[in-house]
């Protein structure tokens, strides 16, 4: 039976473009709605709690459906339909972009970012960057070992020797490129903020999409990876904002007089 999600799978490349355009419309609106307010710094806590609750809720919902077996047939049909209808041009595009989410690529970015923050004497940002990117890697490996989901059979290349759920490329890309956008907002003039957010979100969305097109992951793996990455990145940014806005109070020195 033809369903809405099979329609999306049939025209996956077109829906990818629609999703990208939607990002370029939503991100500027969200940016202006949040940062145009005088109390934007105080809104970090509320925004963070909402994002973390949403991401955690979606992830738990996907995990529940996975454990009950409800995703086996829809995921398989979706992946097979994407494979049948994807054009060679789209496949070549995603083969190139997906490398930006490789573990080696994200590791190099992490090392360079930490070194740059240390050189700038931004020690909190250096620790926060290492916590965000490195911590996400550990979380993803732990989640994979918990769920132990087999990857889809990949007709385009050699099988990958790791579990499928959740997608590490999806979570790692969202955390890494989202963190870079955050650092731009912290350290550079405001004219660079929105372009950084647009570029970071576009890269994360494109790399996540590539994992379905290239048959490395099921769609639910990718969505779960984005949600786990969003939750962890939001937590790390909220922690950095809190430690910056509310530094530890120094104890008054005893009166020697």
In a domain, 39, yes or no: no
Whole-prediction pTM: 0.90
Answer left, alpha or beta for residue 39, where phi above 0 means left and psi between -120 and 50 means alpha: alpha
Residue 17 CA neighbour count, 13 Å, CB half: 5
Predicted pLDDT at 202: 95
Report the C-alpha gap between 129 and 152 in whole angstroms.
Answer: 32
Contact (Cβ atoms closer than 8 angstroms) between residue 55 and residue 234: yes
In a domain, 43, yes or no: no
Instruction: Convert the pLDDT of each residue in 173-203 to its tens digit.
Output: 999 999 999 999 999 998 999 999 999 999 9
Predicted pLDDT at 39: 59
In a domain, 46, yes or no: no
pLDDT tops 70 at residue 256: no
pLDDT tops 70 at residue 252: no
Contact (Cβ atoms closer than 8 angstroms) between residue 156 and residue 98: no
In a domain, 52, yes or no: no
Task: Give how far the C-alpha of residue 211 lies from the chain's centroid of Cα atoms, to the nearest Å.
Answer: 13
In a domain, 48, yes or no: no
Report the C-alpha gap between 88 and 90 in whole angstroms.
Answer: 5
Q: Which domain holds residue 149?
A: 4-31+58-243
Predicted pLDDT at 135: 95
Report the C-alpha gap between 221 and 61 in whole angstroms.
Answer: 12
In a domain, 49, yes or no: no
Number of structural domains (the chain) is 1
In a domain, 254, yes or no: no
Report the C-alpha gap between 83 and 76 in whole angstroms.
Answer: 11
């Amino acid at each position: 039976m033809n369903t809405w999600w099979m329609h999306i799978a049939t025209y996956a490349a077109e829906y990818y473009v629609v999703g990208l355009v939607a990002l370029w419309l939503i991100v500027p609106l969200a940016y202006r709605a949040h940062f145009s307010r005088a109390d934007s710094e105080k809104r970090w806590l509320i925004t963070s709690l909402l994002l973390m609750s949403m991401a955690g809720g979606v992830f738990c919902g996907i995990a529940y459906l996975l454990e009950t077996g409800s995703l086996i047939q829809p995921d398989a049909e979706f992946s097979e339909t994407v494979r049948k209808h994807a054009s060679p041009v789209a496949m070549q595009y995603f083969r190139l972009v997906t490398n930006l989410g490789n573990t080696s690529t994200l590791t190099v970015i992490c090392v360079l970012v930490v070194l740059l923050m240390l050189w700038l004497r931004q020690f909190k940002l250096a620790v926060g960057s290492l916590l965000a990117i490195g911590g996400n890697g550990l979380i993803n490996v732990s989640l994979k070992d918990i769920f132990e989901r087999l990857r889809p059979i990949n007709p385009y290349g050699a099988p990958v020797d790791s579990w499928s759920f959740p997608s590490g490329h999806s979570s790692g890309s969202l955390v890494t490129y989202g963190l870079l956008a955050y650092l731009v907002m912290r350290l550079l003039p405001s004219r660079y903020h929105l372009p950084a957010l647009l570029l970071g979100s576009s890269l994360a969305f494109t790399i996540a999409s590539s994992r379905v097109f290239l048959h490395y992951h099921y769609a639910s793996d990718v969505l779960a990876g984005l949600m786990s990455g969003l939750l962890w990145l939001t937590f790390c940014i909220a922690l950095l904002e809190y430690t910056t806005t509310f530094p530890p109070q120094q104890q008054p020195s005893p009166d020697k007089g």
